[in-house]
C-alpha cells in the first residue's frame, strides 16, 4: 500500500483527477493549492502576502507548506493520501519522505504538453490563470518542480501517465496504476 502524489505542470489535470481518484479509491485528497486559497479567503488581508505569491505564480514558503501538510497528515491517521501540488521542490520532497517514509510513496506523473495546458487554463479563469501568470507558473514549475522527476525516477518511484485526451480517458489510465499501488490486500 502506497501513498500517492499526483504530479505535473500547471493545468495538467492534477486537481481534476485527484478528485475522481480519491472518490473512486477512497483516498484522502490533499491539494496544497486549494488549502492555500482557502487560507487566503478565511484569513483575509493578513494573508495577502501569500495571495500575492500565488497570483504571481511563485512558491509559498516551504516552512509554511510543510507545516500545513504535516498537520493534515496528523489530523488524518491511518489513511492513504493522494497529494496534489505537493511536493514542489527538493526541500518539500525530503520533508515528505521523512514524514511518510520514502518507501511508502509513489508518484503518478501526468505528461501533458505546455500548449495543451495553456489552452486548458485559458478557458478556466482562476485569478492566476491570466496568460502572463500561467507563463510564470510554468517557469516556476520548470525551475523548481520538474527536477523532482529525476529525484523520484532514481528510486523507481515514478510512473509516467499520458495526461492528454478527455478527463475520462486520463482517469481510466491513472486508475489502473493507482488501484494497484493503493491496494490494501
Q: What CA–CA distances, in Å, run from 135 to 9, 53, 89, 109?
A: 11, 14, 18, 20
Which residue's beta carbon is nearest to the bound ligand AP5? 33
Residues 136, 139: Cα–Cα separation, whole Å: 5
For residue 66, report the phi and psi dihedrals to the nearest 5 degrees: -60, -40
CB of 11 to ligand AP5, least distance (A): 5
Binding mask 28-67 for ligand AP5 (x = CB under 6 A): ----xx--x----------------xx--xxxx----x--
What is the arrangement of strands in the sheet containing 105-111, beginning at the earlier edge strand?
Answer: 28-31, 81-84, 3-7, 105-111, 158-162
Give the pairing of strands 105-111 and 81-84: unpaired
Query: Which of 4, 7, 88, 108: binder of ligand AP5 (CB under 6 A)?
Result: 88
Alpha helices in 3-113 (DSSP H): 14-25, 32-43, 48-56, 62-75, 90-100
Residues 105, 81: Cα–Cα separation, whole Å: 9
Q: Is 79 in the site for ligand AP5 (CB under 6 A)?
A: no
CB of 182 to ligand AP5, least distance (A): 20
Query: Which of 7, 8, 51, 95: binder of ligand AP5 (CB under 6 A)?
Result: 8
Interaction residues for ligand AP5, span 92-151 (CB under 6 A): 92, 120-121, 124, 137
- For residues 172 and 183, which CB has a smaller minimum distance to ligand AP5 in the complex? 172
- For residues 78 and 151, which CB has a smaller minimum distance to ligand AP5 in the complex? 151
Instruction: Note the residues at the interface with ligand AP5 (CB under 6 A).
Output: 8, 10-16, 32-33, 36, 53-54, 57-60, 65, 85-86, 88, 92, 120-121, 124, 137, 166-167, 170
Amino acid at each position: 500500500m502506497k501513498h500517492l502524489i499526483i504530479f505535473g505542470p500547471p493545468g495538467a489535470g492534477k486537481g481534476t483527477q485527484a478528485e475522481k481518484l480519491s472518490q473512486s479509491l477512497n483516498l484522502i485528497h490533499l491539494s496544497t493549492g486549494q488549502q492555500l486559497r482557502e487560507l487566503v479567503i478565511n484569513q483575509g488581508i493578513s494573508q495577502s502576502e501569500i495571495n500575492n505569491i500565488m497570483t504571481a505564480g511563485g512558491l509559498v514558503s516551504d516552512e509554511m507548506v510543510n507545516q500545513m501538510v504535516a498537520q493534515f497528515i496528523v489530523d488524518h491517521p491511518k489513511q492513504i493520501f493522494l497529494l496534489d501540488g505537493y511536493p514542489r521542490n527538493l526541500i518539500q520532497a525530503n520533508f515528505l519522505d521523512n514524514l511518510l517514509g520514502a518507501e511508502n510513496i509513489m508518484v503518478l506523473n501526468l505528461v501533458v504538453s505546455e500548449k495543451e495546458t495553456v489552452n486548458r487554463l485559458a478557458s478556466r479563469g482562476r485569478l492566476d490563470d491570466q496568460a502572463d501568470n500561467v507563463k510564470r507558473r510554468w517557469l516556476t514549475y520548470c525551475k523548481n518542480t520538474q527536477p523532482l522527476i529525476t529525484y523520484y525516477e532514481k528510486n523507481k518511484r515514478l510512473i509516467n501517465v499520458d495526461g492528454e485526451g478527455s478527463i475520462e480517458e486520463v482517469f481510466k489510465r491513472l486508475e489502473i496504476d493507482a488501484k494497484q499501488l493503493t491496494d490494501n490486500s
